Amino acid sequence: MMEAGYKLDGRYRIIRSIGEGGMANVYLAQDLILNREVAIKVLRLDLQNDPDTIRRFRREELAATELVHPNIVVVYDVGEDNGLQYIVMEYVSGTDLKRYIADHYPIPYAEVVRMMMEVLAAVQQAHAHGIIHRDLKPQNILVDPSGHLKITDFGIAVALSENSITQTNSMLGSVHYLSPEQARGSVATKQSDIYSLGIILYEMLTGKVPFEGETAVSIALKHFQSEIPSVRHIDPNIPQALENVVLRATAKEPSERYQSVAAMTDDLKTALSPLRANEPKFKSKIADEATKVIPKLKPEQYTDTSSAAPASAAVRPASAATNVTKTAPATHTGDQTASLQKPRRRVRSRLRFSALFLLIVFLLVGGGFFVARQLLPVTVPNVRGMTQRQAENALIDANLKVGAATKKADEEVKAGRVVRSQPQAKQKVKRHSVVKMRVSTGKKAYLVKDYTGRYYRSVANQLRQAGFKVKKRRAISHTLGAGEIMAQNLDAGERVHPKGKKIILTVSVGANGFNLRDMTNWPQSSVEEYANSMGFNLDLKYDYSGAVQTGTVMKQSPHAGTAVARDAKITVTISRGNRAGEAAD
């Protein structure tokens, strides 16, 4: 536990603890830079050195960064502080749905549908990105003061589903919403999330979960052995159409559930419609042999036919004694009850034995599979082009350890992205092998030199070939000859990435240079006199203009104020006036 006042990474000041879970503790904190309250999820100390747990913990970051939705808690930041892995999230004041149900039950049916629609919208967004929550439950759904809902714990849910079978406290919280296939140890699918959504809807309608038990295992067994109790038996006013949403979402076989969250949304949307008032109850079409009820046997099926012997047999002569001893005595009422109970006890005993046997087989097979899986080699994933953080998570997901990362320039891979790994991608290695990475610093930085005193033409060609955009400025210099560089905007010794980078070079026009005057609206004769007096080469051009008087200057190049050499070429455009037929402005 972190004490109040502790500054995580020097930025987040801990205010108080707001929750504890199977994997992480959650704190309310103040972001000292952005001056806002945030929720910080910190991986428990006893799990900080477990690479598998860190992999699953980081998976929440990757999952959440892909999910942008008003009903999903926003992840702001991730990091590590003195070995503590943490995730910074949006702080949602209010309560979780578990507490909300306890405080507000019974909730109006229309409000249940509205709230459930928000949850479905969030899960649909996750499924659209290929993300399965795996641990949907009211404790992972936050309700803000306005009554809107936000789902949290993507990614950490994966860890709970994989670890909590051995963590009783965590499992008891999650197992109430666990799908039958997850209870059997199968891989969770989108239909698994739909089952959990059905259980959440059940709890919102009834105020309680459908299955209870003293242990997580006993509750898990009920999920794939027992039918979901009817919500209408608890509240007869619940419309059958609304109960059908629960029943279909929680069908034992995934194939009988909604095939998508969108389909469940569409069904729930009209569940309170009067048009569905006479809807029949949903019934599973797949017979589950494990949950069939054994029929009661009639009393006569247990009665020995020999009990029908006539009473007179008791007073038969001694000569008939042999036959009498072979005939069962008349059955009394107590004997009939015992004969009925014994087979039933045997049936119950067999069922308990079968369930225990299945559980033992499940644990043995699961344990064997786990051991075998640890011995199998794994394939190094292709992390080229990923950010360093994404690559680390990909390696951890592949049950590999992250080694040192070296940084080096690369002409093809962007800065901050992985160039290659060692061992290389697609290579088979032992589980938990160390994989090193080379991370790009971008294209090789260009060392800017001191170009003053050098001739502009050769320097400009060299810089353009390197990728720079070169801009030339002219100035008069009494120390440098014409064409020599007087100044540069980038300092010598500076390292820059040249692609698209602008470099400005100030070039001398010599000591005899001059600043060009503004010749706009001058008559051609005055321009020619100016050129003769200053010595520059005059290049005259002509064009039509309705705005500039005929025979006067429309424009000039270079523009006024530019420093030019005495023998520079100056282009001046003279107006020809309006084109034939055009009216004057």
Q: Is 569 annotated as a binding residue?
A: no
In the DSSP assignment, the letter for residue 129 is T
Amino acid at 218: S
Q: Which residues pair with 28 in a beta bridge?
A: 16, 39
Query: Taking the alpha carbons of 470, 472, 477, 480 in that order, is the dihedral positive or negative?
Result: positive
**Catalytic residue from among 31, 50, 135, 518:** 135
- Distance between CA atoms of residues 268 and 376, nearest Å: 45
Query: Taking the alpha carbons of 10, 16, 21, 22 in that order, is the dihedral positive or negative?
Result: positive
CA distances (Å), origin 107, targets 39, 100, 120, 194, 201:
28, 10, 18, 21, 11
For residue 496, what are its two tokens? 């820059």
- Distance between CA atoms of residues 146 and 135, nearest Å: 25
Residue 451: CB atoms within 10 Å: 22
Catalytic site includes residue 135 = yes
Residue 217: CB atoms within 10 Å: 17
CA distances (Å), origin 185, targets 182, 255, 358:
5, 18, 12
- Distance between CA atoms of residues 482 and 490, nearest Å: 21
Comparing CA positions, the residue from 263, 285, 161, 299 lying closest to residue 220 is: 161
In the DSSP assignment, the letter for residue 332 is P
- Distance between CA atoms of residues 177 and 260, nearest Å: 18
For residue 303, what are its two tokens? 């009665």
Please report the beta strands in 56-105, taking only residues with DSSP state E, as ranges in sequence order: 75-81, 84-90, 95-96
Residue owning tokens 């000859």:
481
Residue ranges of the alpha helices (H) in 250-332? Answer: 261-269, 321-325
- Distance between CA atoms of residues 159 and 172, nearest Å: 15
Q: Do 535 and 568 meet the contact criterion of CB atoms below 8 Å apart?
A: no
Binding residues: 41
Q: Which residues are annotated as a binding site for ATP?
A: 41
Question: Could you give the residue numbers annotated as active site?
Answer: 135
